[in-house]
Amino acid sequence: MKRSLAYAFFILAAGLSMVSIGSAQDRTQGRSMVTTRYGIVAAESPLAAQAGAQILSRGGNAIDAAVATNAVMGVVEPMMNGMGGDLFVIVYDAKSGKLYGLNASGWSPKGLTPEFLKNKGVTTMPQHGIDSVTVPGVVDGWSKLLGRFGKLNLEQDLAPAIRYAHEGFPVPEWDAEYWGAAAGFLKKNPATASLYLLQGEAPKVGEIFRNEALSRSLALVAKGGRDAFYKGELAHRIVDFSKREGGAMTLEDMADYSSEWVEPLSTKYHGWEVYELPPNGQGIAALEMLNLMQQFPLSQFGHNSADALHVMIEAKKLAYADLRRYVGDPRFSKIPVAGLLSDDYARERAKLIDMSKANCNVSPGMPNEKLGDTTYMTVVDQQGNMVSLIQSNYDEFGSRLVADDTGFVLQDRGALFNLEPDSPDVLAGHKRPLHTIIPAFMSNGDTRIAFGIMGGFNQAQAHAQFVSNIVDFGMNIQAAMEAARFDKITFGGCDVQIEDRVPADVRAALTARGHQLEVRGAFSSHMGGGQATERNFATGVNFGASDPRKDGEAIPEPPPHP
CA dist 553 → 143, 182, 281, 387, 558 (Å): 26, 24, 26, 16, 15
Can you tell me the distance from the alpha carbon of 427 to that of 106, in angstroms, rounded to the nearest whole number? 13
Between CA 451 and CA 445, with CA 283 as vertex, the angle to 5 degrees is 50
3-state secondary structure of 496: strand
> Per residue in 241-280, pLDDT tens?
999 999 999 999 999 999 999 999 999 999 999 999 999 9
Closest residue by Cα to residue 442 from 456, 457, 453, 454: 453
Say how far residue 154 (Cα) sits from the centre of its chain. 23
Can you tell me the distance from the alpha carbon of 432 to that of 106, in angstroms, rounded to the nearest whole number? 6
For residue 372, the model assigns a pLDDT of 34
pLDDT band at 560 (very low <50, low <70, confident <90, very high): confident
| pLDDT at residue 447 tops 60 | yes
Do the Cβ atoms of 390 and 438 come closer than 8 Å? yes
pLDDT band at 338 (very low <50, low <70, confident <90, very high): very high
For residue 22, the model assigns a pLDDT of 47
Instruction: Cite the active site residues.
Output: 374
| pLDDT at residue 17 tops 60 | no
| pLDDT at residue 334 tops 80 | yes
Can you tell me the distance from the alpha carbon of 47 to that of 226, in angstroms, rounded to the nearest whole number? 25
Residues forming a β-bridge with 268: 273
Give the H or E element holding residue 40: strand 40-43
3-state secondary structure of 451: strand
pLDDT band at 373 (very low <50, low <70, confident <90, very high): low
Can you tell me the distance from the alpha carbon of 385 to that of 65, in angstroms, rounded to the nearest whole number? 11
3-state secondary structure of 498: strand
Q: Which residues contact 160 (CB under 8 A, 6 or more apart)?
A: 51, 54, 55, 68, 71, 72
Do the Cβ atoms of 484 and 462 come closer than 8 Å? no
Q: What is the pTM of this model?
A: 0.93
Three-state secondary structure readout of 86-131? EEEEEEEECCCCEEEEEEECCCCCCCCCHHHHHHCCCCCCCCCCHH
Can you tell me the distance from the alpha carbon of 91 to that of 84, in angstroms, rounded to the nearest whole number? 22
| pLDDT at residue 6 tops 50 | no
For residue 562, the model assigns a pLDDT of 63
Closest residue by Cα to residue 371 from 343, 332, 318: 332
Give the CB-side neighbour count of residue 524, counting CA atoms within 13 A: 19
Can you tell me the distance from the alpha carbon of 298 to that of 289, in angstroms, rounded to the nearest whole number? 13
> Per residue in 474-528, pLDDT tens?
999 999 999 999 999 999 899 999 999 999 999 999 999 999 999 999 999 899 9
pLDDT band at 149 (very low <50, low <70, confident <90, very high): very high
For residue 376, the model assigns a pLDDT of 81
